[in-house]
Chains A and B, each alone.
Chain A
Amino acid sequence: MKLIMAIIKPFKLDDVREALTGLGVEGMTVTEVKGYGRQKGQTEIYRGAEYEIHFLPKVKVEVAVAADQAERTVEAITAAASTGKIGDGKIFVVDLENAVRIRTGETDDQAL
């Protein structure tokens, strides 16, 4: 199993959800996060004075999938979350050791 963590632009969340639902992904966890990458934040202006926003608001989507589904999932997220402009975000994939569905006690691929 793989855990896929995608940091995306907040307004792309619905596109990503739709794309993943289309792939048969059964669930996901979404968190509002802040951060920066190479873009290094942005400049805003208030009452004539500029100031730096270092941490920009993003959304983190976490999806657990069977190992053989990981590549398709990553491709789907990449396609759905892309605007081609700076700040589109990143996707991290890590190995997932175990999974349990709390209600039934099912484990691993059965629990996804």
Chain B
Amino acid sequence: MNKRLIVPGLAAAVAMMAAPAFAVDAETAYILNSFSFLVNGALVMFMAAGFAMLESGLVRSKNTATICLKNITLYSIAGIMFYLVGYNLMYMDVTGYIGTLMPWAADDAAALAETGADFEAGYASSSDWFFQMVFVATAASIVSGTVAERIKLWPFLIFTIVLTAVIYPIQGSWTWGGGWLTEQGFADFAGSSIVHSVGGWAALTGAIILGARKGKYGANGSVHPIPGANLPLATMGTFVLWLGWFGFNGGSVLALGSAGDAIAMATVFANTNMAAAGGVVAAVILTQLVYKKVDLSMALNGAIGGLVSITAGPDTPTLGSAILIGAVGGAIVVFAVPLLDKFKIDDVVGAIPAHLLCGIWGTLAVPITNTDASLITQLIGVVSIGAFVVVASAIVWMALKLTIGIRAEEDVEDMGLDKVELGLEAYPEFGRGAHSI
């Protein structure tokens, strides 16, 4: 449950179980654990590219450059804020509800030089910091897609600062920092709730306060779809996210210092893949049955929905259970997208169904295959994290709305944010771009 502190314990426990003659020494385990954090963390980092491409594909071409800029900037802000505030708020001396307010710094290089070989920590501390940092960036990426095409750039970035510096780390400390939810026995292996639902709740709150894109909903409850500009790009983004997810869930085993760890990580990789596959197939079949046409964008959402669904417990299901858990995620996407439209909540990329609702489902599904988890505790986790993030995000969104404003002016929305906020076009030489004939 404790995403940081479990490592030495787990590695040691597994090492004791394994035949001693074949167990690797402490330094080798330290190297392999650090290697796992770094490589899996780099895979998760690439999910930022996946989000950027998925969102670029599902917005109109007049807002493409803005969504690209938002994605690369939010990723950078997330890292800076996690260094300045977030990491220690989440992991340093957590008192139950919150950690310590101070910037993070690695201390192990000096310790190694001074006292020599001491591998009790289990991994290089910067490898852990890097791995945790890319997770907060993922939560922030989720928000940008939902509120795309009508939010002003700077208020969005300010929200990202607060989300990554304060909101995400505080709720993260409750579980992964060893706080009160861990004491309750709440299980969220790689963050169905802690990462994906958190991004989803912040996105939902933002979408409601911000309002729908101009022209999305008619006066009499009619829905006017605004098709994305580039579905190949959205497909590519989804595949990149799928790839990155192996690092997201696989790396969350948190150790690779023994055969036991290797088996656990391999199981997680396989289950993660099968849940995504289940999500896609469910979405493809259901859209054919419900809408009489297969919907590509929902098949893509189905992959994400399946991945989010398995993220809370990718270590315990069998491959068959993983497919089913993912398939329920795919079904949630198909039925939740029109439901959001009924409430006139405009979610450009489908992040609310895929990340928030599938995150809730995935968290509640953990007890199905993990006998250590209880449904009541899972429910307490979902509700408490949700309540905190909704209230905290609503305060920030409203404060921004009442001061500098969050909504782009109507004529800016018509013209496209690219020309007004960035002063450029994503495709100047194609279509109706200024440089085409």
Contacts of A44 in B (CB 8 A): 227
Asked whether B227 lies within 8 Å of A46 as measured between CB atoms, the reply is yes
Interface residues of B in 263-313 (CB under 8 A from A): 287, 290-291, 293, 295, 297-298
Contacts of B226 in A (CB 8 A): 46
- Residues of B that sit less than 8 Å from A by CB: 223-227, 287, 290-291, 293, 295, 297-298, 334, 337-338, 341, 350
CA distance A48 to B341 in the complex (A): 10
Asked whether B337 lies within 8 Å of A48 as measured between CB atoms, the reply is yes
Report A10-50 CB contacts with B as 1/0, cut-off 8 Å: 00000000000000000000000000000000001111111
**Interface membership of A92, Cβ < 8 A:** no
Asked whether A48 lies within 8 Å of B227 as measured between CB atoms, the reply is no
Asked whether A51 lies within 8 Å of B224 as measured between CB atoms, the reply is yes
Contacts of A46 in B (CB 8 A): 225-227, 295, 297
Asked whether A48 lies within 8 Å of B224 as measured between CB atoms, the reply is no
A45 touches which of B291, B341, B350 (Cβ 8 Å):
B291
Min distance, Cβ A10 to any Cβ of chain B, angstroms: 16
A49 touches which of B287, B334, B338, B350 (Cβ 8 Å):
B338
CA distance A50 to B227 in the complex (A): 11
A-B contact pairs, 5 of them (CB 8 A): A46-B226, A46-B227, A48-B337, A48-B341, A49-B225
CA distance A51 to B341 in the complex (A): 14
Nearest-neighbor residue (CB-CB) of A46 within chain B = B225
Asked whether A47 lies within 8 Å of B293 as measured between CB atoms, the reply is no
**Chain A: how many interface residues by the 8 Å CB criterion?**
8
Min distance, Cβ A32 to any Cβ of chain B, angstroms: 11
Instruction: Give the dominant DSSP class at A's interface.
Output: strand
Min distance, Cβ B346 to any Cβ of chain A, angstroms: 11
Contacts of B297 in A (CB 8 A): 46-47
Min distance, Cβ B432 to any Cβ of chain A, angstroms: 12
Min distance, Cβ B160 to any Cβ of chain A, angstroms: 26
Contacts of B293 in A (CB 8 A): 45
Min distance, Cβ A52 to any Cβ of chain B, angstroms: 9
Contacts of A45 in B (CB 8 A): 225, 291, 293, 295
Min distance, Cβ A47 to any Cβ of chain B, angstroms: 5
Report A83-110 CB contacts with B as 1/0, cut-off 8 Å: 0000000000000000000000000000
Contacts of B227 in A (CB 8 A): 44, 46
The 6 closest A-B pairs by CB, nearest first: A46-B225, A49-B223, A48-B338, A49-B225, A46-B227, A51-B225
Nearest-neighbor residue (CB-CB) of A45 within chain B = B293
CA distance A51 to B337 in the complex (A): 16
Interface residues of A in 30-88 (CB under 8 A from B): 44-51
Asked whether A47 lies within 8 Å of B224 as measured between CB atoms, the reply is no
CA distance A50 to B291 in the complex (A): 9
CA distance A104 to B179 in the complex (A): 88
Min distance, Cβ A4 to any Cβ of chain B, angstroms: 25
Contacts of A48 in B (CB 8 A): 287, 290-291, 295, 298, 334, 337-338, 341
CA distance A67 to B224 in the complex (A): 49
Contacts of B337 in A (CB 8 A): 47-48
Contacts of B224 in A (CB 8 A): 49, 51
Contacts of B350 in A (CB 8 A): 47
Asked whether B295 lies within 8 Å of A49 as measured between CB atoms, the reply is no
CA distance A46 to B293 in the complex (A): 9
Nearest-neighbor residue (CB-CB) of A48 within chain B = B338
Min distance, Cβ A30 to any Cβ of chain B, angstroms: 14
Contacts of A51 in B (CB 8 A): 224-225
Min distance, Cβ B148 to any Cβ of chain A, angstroms: 14
Contacts of B225 in A (CB 8 A): 45-47, 49-51
Contacts of A47 in B (CB 8 A): 225, 295, 297-298, 337-338, 350
Given contact pairs A49-B223, A49-B338, a sample of 7 additional A-B residue pairs in the complex whose CB atoms are under 8 Å apart = A45-B225, A45-B295, A47-B337, A48-B287, A48-B290, A48-B291, A48-B298
CA distance A51 to B293 in the complex (A): 13
Min distance, Cβ B232 to any Cβ of chain A, angstroms: 16
CA distance A111 to B112 in the complex (A): 89
Most chain A CB neighbours (cut-off 10 Å) among B225, B338, B341: B225
Min distance, Cβ A51 to any Cβ of chain B, angstroms: 5
Min distance, Cβ B77 to any Cβ of chain A, angstroms: 30
CA distance A47 to B295 in the complex (A): 6
Contacts of A49 in B (CB 8 A): 223-225, 338, 341
Min distance, Cβ A50 to any Cβ of chain B, angstroms: 8
CA distance A50 to B298 in the complex (A): 14
CA distance A47 to B341 in the complex (A): 10
CA distance A49 to B224 in the complex (A): 7
Min distance, Cβ A111 to any Cβ of chain B, angstroms: 25
Min distance, Cβ B354 to any Cβ of chain A, angstroms: 12
Most chain B CB neighbours (cut-off 10 Å) among A48, A49, A50, A51: A48
CA distance A50 to B222 in the complex (A): 10
CA distance A51 to B217 in the complex (A): 12
Contacts of B338 in A (CB 8 A): 47-49
Contacts of B223 in A (CB 8 A): 49
